Structure 1
Amino acid sequence: MAKLVERNSPDGRVGNAGETAAGSTAGPGLRKSLACRAAAVVGLAGVLYRAILIAVDVPPANSDEGTAGLAALHIGEGREWPTFFYGQDYMGTFYSYLAAPLVQVFGTHWWALRLPALVLYAVFLVLVFRLTRTLYSSWFAVFVTGVMAFGSDRVVKDQIIGAGGYSDVATAVAGLMLASALLVLRPAKQRTTLVVWGLLAGYIVWTHWLALPYVAAAVLLVAWVGRAGMTIRGVALAVCGFLLGAAPLIVFNLRLDRPNSFSVLLSLSGATEPAAWSDRLHGAVIVGLPLSSGLCAPSRCATWQLWWGPTYLVLLVAATAIAVAALRRADDGECRVHASRLALIAGAAMTLAAYVASSSSAMTPVESARYLHYGMVSLPAVLWPLWVGATALVGRVGSSVSADDGGIRRRVTGRSRSRAFLAAGCVTLAGVLFAGLSIATGQLIVHRSRYAGQADNEQQLVDSLRTTGVGHVYSGYWTCNRLAYRSREQVRCAVLDDDLSPGLDRYRPYRDQVRASARVAYVLPASSAMSDTFARSAPTLGVDVVSRYEVGGYQVYVCHTRRPPAPVVTDR
Structure 2
Amino acid sequence: MLLNKRIHIGKKHFSLAALCACLLIILAIGVRFIFILHNWPPTNSDEAEVGLMSLHISQGRDFPFFMYGQAVLGSLEAYIGAGLFLLFGPSIPALRIGLLLLFVIFLILFYLLTKRLYTKGLALLTLFLLSFGPIESLSRSVLGTLGHAETPLFCGIIVLLSMHLALLSITPYRKMTTFQRRKCFTLYALWGVMSGIAIWNDALSGSFILASGLYIFIFCRQTLRPIPIGSVLLGLCVGVLPLVMHDVLLPYGQAMLSNGQHSLDVLHSLTHRTQAMSMLQRWKEGFLVSLPASTGASGICYIQPLEAWPLSPHSSPYVRQCTATHSIWAVIVAAIWFIAIILEMHNLYQLRKTTYGQPASTCDRTAQKMVVHGARLLLLGAAGLVWLVFSSTRVQDSAWSTRYLIGMVLATPAMLWPLWSQLTSGLERRRQFLEKRGLQILCGIVLLMFTAIQVKGTIHAFSQFPGGMPLLGQQNALTNTQQNALTNTLVRLHVKHLYTEYWTCNFVIFFSHEQVICSVADTNLHRGFNRYTPYVSLVEQDPQAAYLFPTGAPQIPKLNAKLAQEGRKYQVTSFEGYVLYQFTSGGTTQVGKVCE
TM-score by length of 2: 0.82
- What is the Cα deviation at residue 543 of structure 1? 4.7
Q: Which residue of 2 aligns with 1:4?
A: none
Q: Which residue of 2 aligns with 1:509?
A: 534
Instruction: String of CA shifts for 1:187-245, please: whole Å, max 9, x gaps.
Output: 44434433332221001111211121011111111222112134433333322222111
Q: Structure 1 stretch 33-42 or stretch 110-119: which is displaced more?
A: 33-42
Provide closer, same or farther for how the CA distance between residues 25 and 291 of structure 1 changes in structure 2, counting only shifts above 3 A: closer
Q: Which residues in structure 2 correspond to 1:303-318 (within 5 Å)? A: 303=323, 304-318=325-339
Q: Which residue of 1 aligns with 2:27?
A: 45
- What is the Cα deviation at residue 25 of structure 1? 9.3
Q: Which residues in structure 2 correspond to 1:293-442 (within 5 Å)? A: 293-296=295-298, 297=302, 299=304, 302-303=322-323, 304-330=325-351, 331-359=366-394, 361=396, 363-365=397-399, 367-398=400-431, 412=432, 415-416=434-435, 419-442=436-459
Identical residues among aligned pairs (%): 26
Provide closer, same or farther for how the CA distance between residues 126 and 531 of structure 1 changes in structure 2, counting only shifts above 3 A: same
- What is the Cα deviation at residue 516 of structure 1? 1.3
- What is the Cα deviation at residue 305 of structure 1? 4.7
Q: Which residue of 2 aligns with 1:86?
A: 68
Provide closer, same or farther for how the CA distance between residues 455 and 506 of structure 1 changes in structure 2, counting only shifts above 3 A: same
* Contact kept in structure 1, 2:17 and 2:124, CA below 8 Å: yes
Which SS does the other structure have where 1:307 is aligned? helix
Q: Which residues in structure 2 correspond to 1:412-491 (within 5 Å)? A: 412=432, 415-416=434-435, 419-451=436-468, 454-491=479-516
State which of 167, 170, 184 in structure 1 corresponds to 2:166: 184
Q: Which residue of 2 aligns with 1:9?
A: none
- What is the Cα deviation at residue 260 of structure 1? 3.9
Provide closer, same or farther for how the CA distance between residues 318 and 511 of structure 1 changes in structure 2, counting only shifts above 3 A: same
Question: In structure 2, how many angstroms separate the alpha carbons of the residues matched to 1:290 and 1:160?
Answer: 20
Q: Structure 1 stretch 283-292 or stretch 424-433: which is displaced more?
A: 283-292
Which SS does the other structure have where 1:449 is aligned? coil
Which SS does the other structure have where 1:383 is aligned? helix
Question: In structure 2, how many angstroms separate the alpha carbons of the residues matched to 1:424 and 1:386?
Answer: 10
Matched, 1:210 2:215: no
Question: In structure 2, how many angstroms separate the alpha carbons of the residues matched to 1:111 and 1:256?
Answer: 32
Query: Aligned-residue CA RMSD in angstroms?
Result: 2.6
Question: In structure 2, how many angstroms separate the alpha carbons of the residues matched to 1:167 and 1:82?
Answer: 19
Instruction: String of CA shifts for 1:461-507, please: whole Å, max 9, x gaps.
Output: 11001111111111111111111111111111100011211101111
- What is the Cα deviation at residue 554 of structure 1? 1.0
- What is the Cα deviation at residue 518 of structure 1? 3.8
Provide closer, same or farther for how the CA distance between residues 33 and 345 of structure 1 changes in structure 2, counting only shifts above 3 A: same
Provide closer, same or farther for how the CA distance between residues 543 and 437 of structure 1 changes in structure 2, counting only shifts above 3 A: farther
Q: Which residue of 2 aligns with 1:271?
A: 273
Matched, 1:100 2:77: no
Instruction: String of CA shifts for 1:73-106, please: whole Å, max 9, x gaps.
Output: 1111111111221113322212211111222343
What letter corresponds to residue 381 of structure 2 in structure 1? A
Provide closer, same or farther for how the CA distance between residues 389 and 25 of structure 1 changes in structure 2, counting only shifts above 3 A: same
Q: Which residue of 1 aligns with 2:288?
A: 286
* Contact kept in structure 2, 1:549 and 1:557, CA below 8 Å: yes
- What is the Cα deviation at residue 31 of structure 1? 12
* Contact kept in structure 2, 1:73 and 1:104, CA below 8 Å: no
Instruction: String of CA shifts for 1:368-421, please: whole Å, max 9, x gaps.
Output: 1111111101111111112112223313334xxxxxxxxxxxxx4x743xx322
Question: In structure 1, how many angstroms separate the alpha carbons of the residues matched to 2:568 and 2:376?
Answer: 63
Instruction: String of CA shifts for 1:141-177, please: whole Å, max 9, x gaps.
Output: 0011111111321112221211211112221111111
Provide closer, same or farther for how the CA distance between residues 214 and 28 of structure 1 changes in structure 2, counting only shifts above 3 A: farther
Question: In structure 2, how many angstroms separate the alpha carbons of the residues matched to 1:262 and 1:434?
Answer: 41
* Contact kept in structure 1, 2:2 and 2:16, CA below 8 Å: no
Q: Which residue of 1 aligns with 2:191?
A: 197
Which SS does the other structure have where 1:386 is aligned? helix
What letter corresponds to residue 319 of structure 1 in structure 2? A
Question: In structure 1, how many angstroms separate the alpha carbons of the residues matched to 2:326 and 2:41?
Answer: 21
Q: Which residue of 1 aligns with 2:574?
A: 550
* Contact kept in structure 2, 1:389 and 1:426, CA below 8 Å: yes
Question: In structure 1, how many angstroms separate the alpha carbons of the residues matched to 2:567 and 2:446?
Answer: 63
What letter corresponds to residue 519 of structure 2 in structure 1? A
Residues matched between the structures, number: 522
* Contact kept in structure 1, 2:5 and 2:16, CA below 8 Å: no
Matched, 1:494 2:494: no
Matched, 1:123 2:108: no
Structure 2 residues not aligned, in runs of 5+: 170-179, 252-259, 309-321, 352-365, 470-477, 587-596
